[in-house]
Amino acid sequence: MNNNKICFISCVNNQQLYREALYYINQLEIPEGYEVECISVENAESMARGYYEAMKASDAKYKVYLHQDVYIINRSFIKDILNIFKSNEKIGMLGVVGAKVIPTNGVWWESKNKYGKVYDNHAGKVSLLSFEEVKNAYETVQAIDGLTMITQYDIPWRQDIFDGWHFYDLSQSIEFIKAGYDVAIPNQVSPWVIHDCGIVNVKNRYEDYRKLFLEEYSKDIFPLVSILIPTYNRPEYFRLALESALNQTYKNIEIIVGDDSTNDETECLMKNNYLNKYSNIKYYHNEKNLGQFDNDIKLYEMAQGEYINFLMDDDLFEETKIEKMMNYFIFDDKQEITLVTSHRAVIDGNGEIKEIFRGTDRIFDEDKVIDGIELGDFILMNIYNCIGEPTTALFRKDKLMEPFGVFNGRKYGCNVDQASWLNLLSMGKAVYINEVLSYFRVHEGQQQHNLGILLKGYTDYIHQVITGREKGFLSDDDKYIYTVRKFIKYGEENIIKPLDEAGFKSEEYENFKKYYDWLKEENNKIGILHKDNNDLPLVSILIPAYNQTKYLKEALESAINQTYPNIEIIIGDDSTTNEVEEFIKPYLNKYSNIIYFKNKKEKMDYGMTNVNELLNRSKGEYVNYLYHDDIFHVTKIEKMMRYFLSRDDVSLVTSHRQLIDENGEYLPDDNSTRRIVDKDSIINGNELCLLCLDKLINFIGEPTTVLFKKSLLEDGFGYYNNNYYMNIADMVTWFSLLEKGKVAYMCESLSFFRQHSNQNSQNLEVFYTGINEWKKIIDDSYDTGLIDSKMAYINYITKWFYSYNVILKDIPHQKIDSSLKKSLVDSFKNAIDIIAEEAKHKHECVICGNQVERFLPYSVKMPKSIEKYRIVGSDVRNFSCPYCYSHDRERHLKMYFDRLKLWGKITGSRVLHIAPEANLRKIIKSYKPKEYICGDLYPMDSEIIKMDITKIHFENEYFDFIICNHVLEHIEDDMKAMMELFRVLKKDGYAVLQTPYSPVLEKSYEDYSIQSKEKRLENYGQEDHVRIYGLDFFKRLEDAGFSLNIINNNELFSEEESKRYGVNSYEDLILVHKQ
């Protein structure tokens, strides 16, 4: 072995690529006393065989195995690798990119922890592929990519298994680790190599070799999982369950079968078909029947795996279940995750797949890591085991501190799974996978339909609620009391009342009642508010009702069940029938704090007279309306009253409201219900009102949502600035209240707003009245001084006009009241007059100096599909000056250069101007640069030279200043262009690299299959754009080498200036620097 020799080895089938690779090898600096040789293996049968033959043929201690299309651009490559190898003899192999941990599917680049960097063109163009930075001299990893593999020891290549072109690299990585060596990625300031590979080829039996790799190495790299199958007298179902375990794609598994059967059918099945065939199966048949609980415990104690998954003998696994779940555990280096679960689908006795069990897909609609205590609280508060039965969850064995099925020292009779889930959740986090990975069989022979078992389950639940606080659950008093009271009500209605009426008696029922009494005693001990009822202010809950009781029961009982003790409930009935009156009578006899009245005659004002009559009759210091189709959270009033009891500056309290449908199912947030802050906050009332006006959205909420101080409402509900409103009466009421104080906003969903087809909001006249009233509230807000400037007022009017002017053409044809039509038309005419008056001669062009009535808009209309990206980088409404035709981006640059005095960097300097704007060229020339080069791929005149900015034909560090304004979005290989601009810019030079980008996109949107002008216009907003940059644009600039200096427009120019000169106030100056 020659310790001073480095051998470069490649398998070659393309001499042109290999010659290029040799060129770069020949440019490397060779340390004194060392020699280099290169071996090419022609027509190799496989990568592993070719590398093995070359390894045996060379006596070099150090070997560099690299693809024929890899070009080493780090000239000190040899010195760098020798330094690492000599610093630590345990390092056996280096690579330039790789994975800290190999995912359970064996595909290294899908790992969550990847290191290294390389220039490559795997996506069809050369760009920087960069993963996590290596912070020290190197980072040890589990696998490296085969593009470059550098060794200081010879370990045989597994040509016996990997006889093709895939997974030889991961195999060799594991072979080094098995031999006791480390595999590492070096710290590369800049990438050491270019990989000219083209689009990645995962053909040539890639999938076959992936499976071979997992078969060979799973036991070396992945933890053991124990699948435990308790079975009892159903061999046919059991056989299907066992097969689903054997078919798992995760290969490091043991299967233990605990047979509690009273016959030998399952035993014969195992002996005849499985035990001689599968070495990873253990089987026992109990001498006597143990029962499910003790059989589970016996299985658990026999398990050798670090991770456990029970599989009930009538259930099934998806074949990727363990693989996908274990992927979360192997990347959990802090061991915070204690269990992983997923959706489970129902199957019937014949194996036919039905719906997702218990609707978990409506709650968990994405993969999610959840705090264990938070999830446990959710389970207890909702009487809802969303984690699933034992089949569903995979868990970490060393985190289960009590025997399976035991919680706080009590052996459970039914909820054995939930007992263990809560134990595990108290120790860490859970993962919910938004995918069906197991199947729960529903059939006639199950114990869950037995009344005695159900009673044991209810008893278990009470024990969990009361003792769960010992493990950290329900530590919040509100949550605890809510859960205690919810189950008291649930137990009374669903268990005690029907069973007592039926005269039912059993040992399980008597035991349940003892626990139920314990729960009621617990309820009597806990007082949410530590004051007597009479010391607390009275709150009036006002319910306007009209002609239906479909939802009224749920609404009324949500008011009756409030945890706040001092409440009156008033129902104002505007009905034309007796339905509501008859419905209310039993409640009036039972509850002394409920008051009912019926209006003599319904007024056609959408119930507003009734709303104000309710307010007039109320005696409470604080008021909360509850519309008959909405619902209160049981702690709503109590939680909101805490703000009024502790603060004097709050006028109203609101919260997030949860949308629900006709059946009470949760609906996603719309624009009005989304949370406006991410934590409970006290918000300046004026600021929140202005936000509503700016977005033309009622963020404060409907009447059901808001609790307010009655004494602050002087004119009644629906009045603002002495004007009466009908459609947005709630919002103007909030505006009136917030003139006198602040708003407390709570992020918790404390009310539930029902959407259904019979609401007033579906009425066309109501809709048009609302549009009219939005204009009216803007006018009133200006009149009251809420809108404090003429310019702001005009902006709000303009937003209202452009939001609703599409209805103008429809108004004459709508069947609505003629006075409403006239009022709408008058409102739009008034808005047009205001906007037109303001528009007269309000603009000025900073290029030509002319006063203009308006700038010309961009000629191509922005597609609707682009609007969601909120692109920053131009002002399409003020695009061009009608006199000098300067574009907004030219005018904006001149303003920045003037204000920042950047012209001084132009004088006497070498300036490169890409795609130069005509007007800007004249100004730059006037500042007398030493050399002014204008370049464009398609020159428009003789002063502009032809230039491709991915191949700029100037030497390194030639220019002092570069202007590249709205160009990069046109360049397919933008990374190469940025690197070229960096190359030709002098050290300490500056460049302006403006480009449109989306502030709501984390990652740029680009699809190289989109080539036609029509598709580019539709997807990117312009026919010659090739992407919409996201916020990663700035990272790309940094990757190219630039230091960023983002100059905020609003720090330099006032809103009035931006508007006057027709520039986009959101477009900052992207000024970069080469340090």
Span 434-487, pLDDT tens digits: 999 999 998 766 555 567 888 898 999 999 999 999 999 999 988 898 899 888
| Residue of 923, 1060, 1058, 1071 whose CA lies nearest to 994 | 1071
- pLDDT (tens digit, 9 = 90+) per residue, 343-385? 999 998 888 888 887 778 777 889 999 999 999 999 999 888 9
Q: E-strand spans in 372-468?
A: 394-396, 406-407, 410-411, 429-441
Among 700, 668, 663, residue whose Cα is nearest residue 684: 700
Of 185, 220, 255, the last residue of a domain is 220
Q: β-pairing, 143-144 with 193-195? A: unpaired
Q: Residue type at 71?
A: Y
210 and 357 both lie in a single domain:
no
CA dihedral 439, 445, 447, 448 (to 10 degrees): 50
Domain annotation covers residue 850: no
pLDDT, mean of residues 1024-1043? 94
Q: 809 falls in which pLDDT band (50, 70, 90)?
A: confident
Question: Is 783 a member of any domain?
Answer: yes
Average pLDDT over residues 853-880: 77
Percent of the chain at pLDDT exceeding 70: 96
Judgement on whether residues 178 and 298 belong to the same structural domain of the protein: no
DSSP at 863 = P
Mean pLDDT along residues 605-612 = 88
User: What integer best gives the mean pLDDT of the chain?
Assistant: 91
Question: pLDDT at position 528, please?
Answer: 43
| Contact by Cβ (8 Å): 346, 355 | yes
What pLDDT is stored for residue 602 in this prediction? 59
Give the percent of the chain with pLDDT over 90: 73
| pLDDT band at 1022; cut points 50, 70, 90 | confident
Instruction: Tell me which of 626 and 844 has the higher pLDDT.
Output: 626
Joined tokens for residue 868 = 């969601």
Q: E strand or H helix at 219, and its extent? A: helix 206-221
Q: What pLDDT score was predicted for residue 806?
A: 78
The secondary structure of residue 414, as a DSSP letter, is: S
pLDDT at 532: 45
Paired sense of beta strands 2-12 and 723-724, if any: unpaired
H or E element in which residue 424 lies: helix 416-425
pLDDT of the residue at 610? 94
Q: What are the tens digits of pLDDT across the range 103-125?
A: 999 999 999 999 999 998 866 67
Question: Does 617 lie in the same domain as 545?
Answer: yes
Q: Does residue 859 surpass a pLDDT of 60?
A: yes
DSSP 3-state of 62: strand
CB 155 within 8 A of CB 175: yes
Strand partners, 340: 394, 431
Residue 345 and residue 309 share a domain: no
Token couple for 133 = 């930075």
The total number of structural domains in the chain stands at 6
Residue 253's Cα: distance from chain center in Å? 33
Would you call 83 exposed, middle or buried from its count of C-beta atoms within 10 A (0-12, 13-18, 19+)? middle
Q: How far apart are CA 908 and CA 31, in angstroms?
A: 44
CATH number at residue 75: 3.90.550.10
Per the CB < 8 A criterion, the answer to whether 4 and 35 are in contact is yes
Which residue, 967, 1004, 1017, 1003, is CA-closest to 866? Answer: 1017
DSSP code string of 130-174 = E-BPP-SSEEEESEE-TTEEEESS-----TTT--SSSSHHHHHHH
Q: What is the pLDDT of residue 530?
A: 38
pLDDT at 35: 97
743, 798: one domain: no
Nearest one of 657, 1025, 738, 618 to 860, comparing CA atoms = 1025
Q: Does 492 map to a domain?
A: yes
Decide if 713 is inside a domain.
yes
Highest mean pLDDT pick, 217-226, 586-595, 664-673: 217-226
- pLDDT band of residue 409 (cuts 50, 70, 90) is very high
Q: Are residues 289 and 404 in the same domain?
A: no
Render 789-809 in DSSP notation, one character per residue.
Answer: -HHHHHHHHHHHHHHHGGGTT
54: tokens are 């070359």
Residue 765 pLDDT level (bands cut at 50, 70, 90): confident
Closest CA to 24 of 177, 247, 176, 195: 195
Torsion on CA atoms 229, 233, 237, 238, rounded to nearest 10: 30
Q: pLDDT class for 808, splitting at 50, 70, 90?
A: confident
Task: Output the pLDDT for position 489.
Answer: 79
Whether 50 and 103 map to the same domain: the answer is: yes
**Strand-strand pairing, 253-259 and 281-285:** parallel
Q: Which helix (H) or strand (E) holds 86?
A: helix 77-87
Order of strands, edge to edge, in the sheet holding 910-914? 944-946, 931-936, 910-914, 959-964, 985-992, 1069-1073, 1043-1047
- Give pLDDT tens digits for 502-554: 888 888 899 998 999 888 888 767 654 434 455 789 999 999 999 889 899 99
Note whether 404 and 439 are same-domain residues.
yes
Long-range Cβ pairs for the range 283-291 (8 Å, 24+): 283/256, 283/257, 283/259, 284/257, 284/258, 284/259, 285/259, 285/261, 286/258, 286/259, 286/260, 289/260, 289/262, 290/260, 291/260
- Cα of first residue to Cα of last residue in the chain, in angstroms, is 45
Domain match, 93 and 151 both = yes
Q: What is the pLDDT of residue 821?
A: 84
- Of 170, 198, 220, the residue at which a domain comes to its end is 220
Which residue, among 912, 905, 897, has the nearest Cα to 982 in the 3D structure?
Answer: 912
Q: State yes or no: pLDDT of 274 exceeds 70.
A: yes
Taking only the tens place, the pLDDT of each residue in 295-312 is: 999 999 999 999 999 999
Q: Is residue 531 part of a domain?
A: no
Judge if 995 and 1036 occupy the same domain: yes
* Model pLDDT for residues 692-730, shown as the tens digit of each residue: 999 999 999 999 999 999 999 989 999 999 999 988 999
Q: Is 942 helix (H, G, I), strand (E, B) or coil?
A: coil
Residue 745 lies in a domain: yes
Flag whether 525 is in a domain: no
Decide: 349 and 443 in contact? Cβ < 8 Å: yes
Is residue 232 domain-shared with residue 365, that is, in the same domain?
Answer: no
d(CA 321, CA 244): 10
| 873 compared with 299, residue with greater pLDDT | 299
Q: How far apart are CA 4 and CA 964, in angstroms?
A: 49
Q: List all residues 6 or more positions away from 435 whose beta carbon is below 8 Å from its beta carbon.
A: 324, 342, 343, 367
- The answer to whether residues 233 and 262 touch, using CB atoms and an 8 Å cutoff, is yes
Count of Cβ atoms closer than 10 Å to residue 827 Cβ: 21
Calculate mean pLDDT across residues 498-502.
83
Between the alpha carbon of residue 804 and those of residues 501, 774, 820, 831, the distances in Å are 60, 10, 15, 11
- Average pLDDT value for residue range 274-302: 94
Average pLDDT over residues 151-177: 97
Domain extent at residue 291: 222-314
Query: Does residue 163 register a pLDDT over 90?
Result: yes
Question: Among 839, 858, 875, where does a domain finish?
Answer: 839
Please name which of 849, 848, 715 lies closest in space to residue 784, comparing C-alpha atoms.
Answer: 715
Maximum separation of any 2 CA atoms in the chain, in Å:
109
Nearest to 150 by CA among 188, 99, 101, 184: 184
C-alpha 751/C-alpha 632 separation (Å) is 5
Same domain, 793 and 734: no
Structure tokens at 436: 């069906």
User: How long, in residues, is the chain?
Assistant: 1075
**Is position 856 within any domain?**
no
CA distances from 197 to 17, 146, 147, 152 (A): 10, 12, 9, 26
